[in-house]
Structure 1
């Protein structure tokens, strides 16, 4: 059951990356702001996740981390689509 939820959060992050890369880019004004929001949220989640590596991580942090990995993967896929 937990494996399915982890995969679901990963794919939701992937689809959310498509939203992040297409909707703000329609006007062309929001590229820098959306990039700053993505990087800031990525670093905040990483800080919360890797602050104390010895203790057992809560399950919600793992889901958020999978969501974060899905966003990064989705942005890389979009970058490769634009480059080809």
Structure 2
């Protein structure tokens, strides 16, 4: 790419963001926020799917495919992909989503 002012500005912003995210406390806080957001999305998806009624199988298929792709990214390719912050955030979201679906199932079962 050409070295325009916009490209240089974006590169500087991304480098500062990377340096800011190197702090372990910020990394842990982002992972916890992602976990809680996954739990929230699971509650929202199960509520919407319960109200609609005719898209249950489609929602289940989409969540299964996304979960399996994330499992393959995180656990299946140990040497191929480095464990970056983005992969860890997606894994934390997946764990929160799965946990939220289990909680909704327990609420409906009682």
TM-score class, shorter: over 0.9
Rounded to whole Å, the distance in 1 between the matches of 2:37 and 2:101 is 13
TM-score normalized by the length of structure 2: 0.72
**Aligned position for 1:49:** 74
Structure having greater relative contact order (Cα 8 Å, sep ≥ 6): 1
CA displacement at 1:59 relative to structure 2: 1.1
Rounded to whole Å, the distance in 1 between the matches of 2:59 and 2:77 is 29
What is the number of residues matched between the two proteins?
A: 84
Q: Does 1:8 align with 2:22?
A: no
Moved more, 51-60 or 4-13: 51-60
CA displacement at 1:31 relative to structure 2: 0.6
Poorly superposed stretches of 4+, deviation over 2 Å: none
Q: Does 1:81 align with 2:107?
A: yes
Q: Does 1:66 align with 2:75?
A: no
Please report the RMSD computed on the Cα atoms of aligned residues, expressed in angstroms: 1.2
Of 40, 61, 68, which residue of structure 2 is paired with 1:36?
61
TM-score normalized by the length of structure 1: 0.93
Gaps of 5+ in 1: none
Rounded to whole Å, the distance in 2 between the matches of 1:76 and 1:22 is 13
Q: Which has the larger radius of gyration?
A: 2
CA contact (8 A) 2:35 2:95 kept: yes
